[in-house]
Chains A and B, each alone.
Chain A
């Protein structure tokens, strides 16, 4: 069968087999024991022509409701921001997307420089000294931060706030079984971490205090108080942050965070049903040589020209093997590039403005929703672009009905916080217009009667 990705002709094959000195391709597999050879044909659907494939994929896609047709108020870690057109155009350049990790710097200066710029932008935004080239996603970056903290402090206890994304806490729980970490959750009060509970829990056993701000509820943590408590007994303060919010919020670095992690999805990366997104990992100079993953550094070539290389590789698995700081090998370079293009497009001014719009739209929406019978605003602490309301009817039922209004409703908090049944987490990005917000209010007025 001919196949457009397989260029060998019969003539080529005959010549090549003659050069090798065998009669058939089958002879090249003679050493595989007969008992493990696969007999017959794998049960996989028949090959599709390109046009058939496109039709098939469109059919699958059409069974999903997208934010192209519905106004979404769903956030909870993945946000519907506008992606400037330039982002898609840059990351579609195949010089970028068909390359691999830049092992040969002389022919990879483009990728290396782009990552160096990404590292700079993330460090700027988070207020930290250095950042790496990216991680799989925000939650796994957070788990890596816990591992690093345990390694540096030689302690096993991790305190993590219950206001951190539930999936990040689940992943930390899974990974803790590997290195034998003890995970203790800090309760919350009025939408943010309970500082007095933290004060009681933190001790000289604590490797890290991990918080998220804006937290899972959208609220802003008291990082000043947390920094004091975390550093009281020389634990590390790890802050997970939404990079989009850092256009207007005081960066975690200025509060004295030791590690800042998060996901760059709100910086020009599509939701894609949850991935691929792009974790980031920023830290202080003191911890620079313990960072997991790839890092790009500036250097010079033999003629003294500026150039970039992968550096500090003595930390990594291909050199240190079982002594490496992490097992991570690949990163999310293409999405880091998308985030760089986004930050370049938004620029110094646009990053502030987009954050400002998110903030004001969410606050306006909460005010309007609070006027509706059956909607109760629950937390009083400051928030960014997400907030919690209690509804007089089950969230699942309301969300189902909202679809017919062309609206994707918020996150059902009862699924991960049993005490918050009937509570909805709503995200309002710059993409939601005043009309969208009015339509949500109108729909809820009708549905909550």
Chain B
């Protein structure tokens, strides 16, 4: 393959088609008034069906997915996406149904939604679940809007501060802003955990919630979670669980039992629905019983006679957060996964994810700086500070990994670790894959010392070399324009 790949517009030739429409079988009884009519056709491609398939097939070959190779992208849980999920999601009784069909014609779909709500409540230790949110960030925002409604219902609408640790995902403070809160960021302590004294200092009458990821983005379990929960609740605040890292705790420790009041899950992470190149995902939200009245509407419900329906009579609901009932096709896949794994299987998922991460950490800690010792959960962070001394940055290490067919870890996040590499192997990778990655990382560490230019100039074997991101941002070219 060459570095250059034509755009589909550049393949276009006037007069070619890839569509097949029947001849219009009704008379034209009316014409569209001229003032509403498009004068010039949209400049869309004109290609044959084979041109089209070759184009997209070649694009797919220029893309790295989990099926291509290891993808240890921290906090993204890039585990294997089972193929049978794709098959069942395409069943016409699930894919070709309309959201406004009468209840009697979608009993299977409603049953699936109802059972998934229940399963996710059980998994998180919560009392009620909405499946509406389309993604983690939307789940965060949905949860925060419920927290807001909860405080307002108690005459405490002045609680306007959301506390996040400095290791939090960027979506946490961004969601807090969009939900109308102010963010207070607190520092982590020397162990990489919430600094309880710093937390105590900022807790008060204006505290709406503390948002925590547990295990946190360093892969560390917040050991003082019970005390943290007590302090937040004592101050009148609520505890929000960012479920990005839930792959570490399935059947081992439930957010509800840790004292969390609201939790979102990323079904595209923990419950292995495909990431799709950036989405669609799904971000269901679970809440404790005090917050159940505020769940978005509608909710799937079951009548005594065993039939299912959509409950819309929820007077205290925060309202609707997304069209229809959430990303149903994604929910179908997560449901299939939970049915495949069962309780025991889900627990094994977390045990293996944690085993894999600790194994990699143990084998890599002599070659890279390890900012936080002790056991990790499903992911861990390294620092490239040692390599930086020989002029090799973490970005270079990431680019060098590309030469070995591996997707690099998350880099430069969390922000509190210099030259950070955040590694999440997931449970679906074999020991040989882990060893190959580890050996590659060790080789890169050696190269950084002996032949740093090999790393600095990487990647050497990809279709394109490093791309000029500054140019892209300074002179934005966001679409193709015909010459």
Contacts and interface: CB of A to CB of B under 8 A. Distances in A.
A352 interface: yes
A194 interface: no
Given A41-B251, A274-B324, A399-B102, A173 B319 contact: yes
B141 interface: yes
Interface string B393-424: 00000110010000110100100000000000
Given A108-B63, A272-B94, A360-B29, A297 B473 contact: yes
Interface residues of B, number: 200
Contact of B351 (A25, A80, A123, A278): A25
A276 B413 contact: no
B42 A277 contact: no
B52 interface: yes
A247 interface: yes
Interface in A110-131: 110-111, 113-117, 119-121, 123-125, 129-131
A7 B111 contact: no
B276 interface: yes
Interface in B323-359: 323-330, 332, 336, 338-349, 351-352, 354-356, 358-359
Nearest to A79: B98
Interface stretch (B19-27, B202-210, B232-240, B440-448): B19-27
A77 to B, nearest CB: 7
B428 A7 contact: yes
A348 B225 contact: no
B464 interface: yes
A317 to B, nearest CB: 4
Contacts of A140: 134, 138, 321-323
A337 interface: yes
A60 B429 CA distance: 32
Interface string A22-56: 10010111111101111001111111101001101
A92 to B, nearest CB: 7
Interface in A248-301: 248-251, 263, 270-278, 288, 294-301
Nearest to B24: A357
B98 A72 contact: yes
Interface in A333-354: 333-335, 337, 340-341, 343-354
Contacts of B41: 247, 348-349, 351-352
A272 B215 CA distance: 34
B478 A309 contact: no
B428 to A, nearest CB: 5
Interface residues of A, number: 207
Nearest to B107: A63
A259 to B, nearest CB: 15
Contacts of A7: 428-431
Contact of A312 (B428, B431, B465, B476): B476
Nearest to A430: B21
A196 interface: no
Contacts of B427: 5-6, 8
Nearest to A92: B86
A230 to B, nearest CB: 18
A238 to B, nearest CB: 17
A321 interface: yes
Nearest to B78: A100
Counting chain B CB atoms within 10 Å of each CB, the highest count among A38, A313, A344, A365 belongs to A344
A345 B18 contact: yes
A246 to B, nearest CB: 7
A298 B274 CA distance: 26
Contacts of B252: 29, 32, 37-38
Interface string A92-112: 111111111111111111110
26 contacts: A22-B375, A25-B355, A32-B253, A38-B252, A38-B254, A58-B93, A64-B105, A65-B105, A90-B60, A106-B459, A106-B464, A109-B62, A123-B479, A130-B478, A136-B134, A246-B38, A248-B32, A273-B328, A274-B326, A297-B476, A321-B170, A322-B183, A326-B178, A328-B137, A364-B27, A396-B102
